[in-house]
Structure 1
Amino acid sequence: MLRSYSAAEVHAALGYPMLIEALREAFKRDGEPMPLRQAYEVGVNGSPARLLTMPAWIRGEALGVKLVTVFPQNAERGLGAVSSLYFLLDGETGQPRAMIDGEALTNRRTAAASALASGYLSRADSRTLLIVGTGHLTPQLVAAHRAVRPIEKVLVWGRSPQRARALADALVRQGMNAAPLVDLAEALSHADIVSCATTSADPLVKGEWLRPGTHLDLVGAFTPQMRESDDAAVSRSRVFVDTYPGALAEAGDLLQPIAAGTWSADSICGDLHELTNGAKPGRLDADEITLFKSVGAAIEDLAAASLLVSEGNPSSHARPPERGCAATKA
């Protein structure tokens, strides 16, 4: 029987400690490489519009696909530019099991992946988190990072000071010690973890501003034309990615330094599969700068969707649906 899950149900059910562990198990195990995100132009009369698909499967257990539409002209209609749904199907019969709000699922699993990486790459005593960006994902990043590190203060920077202030105020109302800052260089001088979730096409975080021991979490830029850090930030860091194929196809933060000849793909120190199974070490000392670049992986959606459905069906806990599949190096 097909069940629908609203955004509120997704956020209520997928607590970060258990979601982070579900992603850890999903990435840890060897499995088939999943297809990269596919994009199709679907606009009419020259209007820009795209359909994105992200499928993933665990043979005999679960299948899933996320459908995303991007219609920039929707602003003229009073509608959001991005819409998303996730469909989970049974891996043995192919029968539909769940239809899930795609934005909520994406935000939860994206933040959980960043926190998973932070557990290996940030300093264990990290207490100050800087959020760069003020969109819907940023509160989730705060909650996820707080699930793995003893965060005592949250700093917020955005290109709109008003929106940065509003986000900081919202966090304060949730009981956090949060404050907006208008000078990004100054904010970086205080941060132990920097989490960026923007749609910037130009570098925001400069390598010269990063202090020793910082962990840089780059989430927002997801095309070769976008970036949140400059070449110096990448060159100064030990760089990790969610998956090799995805990062080397879509991550402008890495592809642009590669194209400029200032950095090499051979310098990537590991992916989430290698971090979670112990094949590659994470942080090596307290002074190094670490960088995690994610562009999103379909296995994250499948693991999160499977966990969501299993939470509503206790009998399914005996067979964890995320087993048997992980991102693998191309």
Structure 2
Amino acid sequence: MTPLRQPPFTVLSGPEVAEQIEGSRPELVTVVRRAYLAHAAERSSLPHSSFLRFAGRERDRIIALPGFLDDDDPVAGIKWISSFPGNREHGLARASAVLLLNDMATGYPQACMEASIVSATRTAASAVLGAEALVGDRRAARIGFIGTGLIAGHVHRFLRDLGWRTDGYLLHDVDPRAAHRFAERALADGVPAATVLDDGDAVLSAADLVVLATVASTPHLTRPESLEHRPVVLHLSLRDLAPDLVLRSQNITDDTDHAVRERTSLHLTEQQVGHRRFVDGTLADVIEGRLVRDPDRPVLFSPFGLGVLDLAVGRWVHRRVVADGGGHTVPDFFAQTS
């Protein structure tokens, strides 16, 4: 029997994480795809995310996402991510996070990394994976972004690095300055045109592929006619669409039990109609051919954001940073080792 040894405990900074991700986005889409398929094959353990909320502060929350993924390279851990939208008024990022990875031989935590970048990366990777599976190509005449913050920026960079083709972006944000900054970055990256619109419904009505990446806590897109042209909608922020729009659409999730809760648009729709039969299946069903996009309806992809995706991306980052000699190892971190 090989004796067990306490693993080193390594801290990875945000710049180290970002350095590994930059230039590797196509590979990370493959990492996320593999994690989705392993989860669909029941090779994971994924308790419901726990939401820590605060009386009188409806917008603020901290979420714990524990999980285990066995995609031939087992990994376990937990992401602890906060969302405090008021931070932006003080020049701070809305979201901050850490990811802990555990050694699978001993159970010891072996890595702690800055995880807002990991979280945004896996969200964007899942979005473009869903877009390609549902569009059937890496081409959309008009791509719309409603919400032009951090997550939208990561989705744009994935679209850019995967070679998506478009005639231009349509943009809306409650802060028009943010939308104009996003437009400038998109144009600098080679997007042919980027137009800022005053109304989110106008973006939804005109774009063929729509990215919803807001911080909305209640539905604000309510016009059923906005979906008459049958777009593909990546509903990343989960709470933007009124139940009437959900019911008119083909609905795809990453995991239905996770996505139909915590007052998401899907959850509100379930509460209204008393069932969840309006959910057609998961992205894994689409990837593996069990579910085909209905061309006669708009399609909504509403990924709850599975913790196993954070683990898959975090494991990939950890190994690359350590292989490059990076990270800060903390000696004698654990008080008792025997």
What TM-score range do you get, normalising by the shorter chain?
A: 0.7 to 0.9
Alignment gaps of 5+ in structure 1 = 222-226, 316-330
Structure 1 residue 264: Cα displacement: 4.1
TM-score of the superposed pair, with normalisation by structure 2? 0.79
Q: Does 2:186 align with 1:171? A: yes
CA distance in 1 between counterparts of 2:177 and 2:91 reads 22
Structure 1 residue 75: Cα displacement: 7.5
Q: Does 2:67 align with 1:56? A: yes
Corresponding residue of 2:17: 10
1:11–1:104 contact (8 Å) kept in structure 2: yes
Match of 2:301, SS state, is strand
1:236-262 Cα offsets, whole Å, 9 max, x none, are 21100111121122352112122222x
Corresponding residue of 1:234: 246
Alignment gaps of 5+ in structure 2 = 1-7, 325-338
Question: Compared with structure 1, are the counterparts of its residues 54 and 152 closer, same or farther at alpha carbon in structure 2 (3 Å cutoff)?
Answer: same
What CA RMSD, in Å, does the superposition of the two structures yield over aligned residues? 2.9
Corresponding residue of 2:143: 129
Structure 1 residue 198: Cα displacement: 0.8
CA distance in 2 between counterparts of 1:71 and 1:190 reads 31
How many residue pairs get aligned? The number is 305
Corresponding residue of 1:119: 132
Identity of aligned residues (%): 24
Match of 2:277, SS state, is helix
1:112-131 Cα offsets, whole Å, 9 max, x none, are 11111112212524232100
Match of 2:241, SS state, is coil
Corresponding residue of 1:88: 101
Structure 1 residue 168: Cα displacement: 0.9
Corresponding residue of 2:123: 110
Structure 1 residue 215: Cα displacement: 0.1
Q: Counterparts of 1:107-256 in structure 2 under 5 Å? A: 107-124=120-137, 125-146=139-160, 147=162, 149-177=164-192, 178-200=194-216, 201-204=218-221, 206-221=223-238, 227-250=239-262, 252-256=264-268
TM-score of the superposed pair, with normalisation by structure 1? 0.81
Deviates further, 73-82 or 118-127: 73-82
1:256-301 Cα offsets, whole Å, 9 max, x none, are 122222x8411211113323333x223243x531110122111110
CA distance in 2 between counterparts of 1:142 and 1:80 reads 18
Match of 1:137, SS state, is helix
Corresponding residue of 1:322: none
CA distance in 2 between counterparts of 1:199 and 1:81 reads 9
Question: Compared with structure 1, are the counterparts of its residues 24 and 137 closer, same or farther at alpha carbon in structure 2 (3 Å cutoff)?
Answer: same
CA distance in 1 between counterparts of 2:198 and 2:285 reads 37
Question: Compared with structure 1, are the counterparts of its residues 96 and 27 closer, same or farther at alpha carbon in structure 2 (3 Å cutoff)?
Answer: same
Structure 1 residue 22: Cα displacement: 0.8
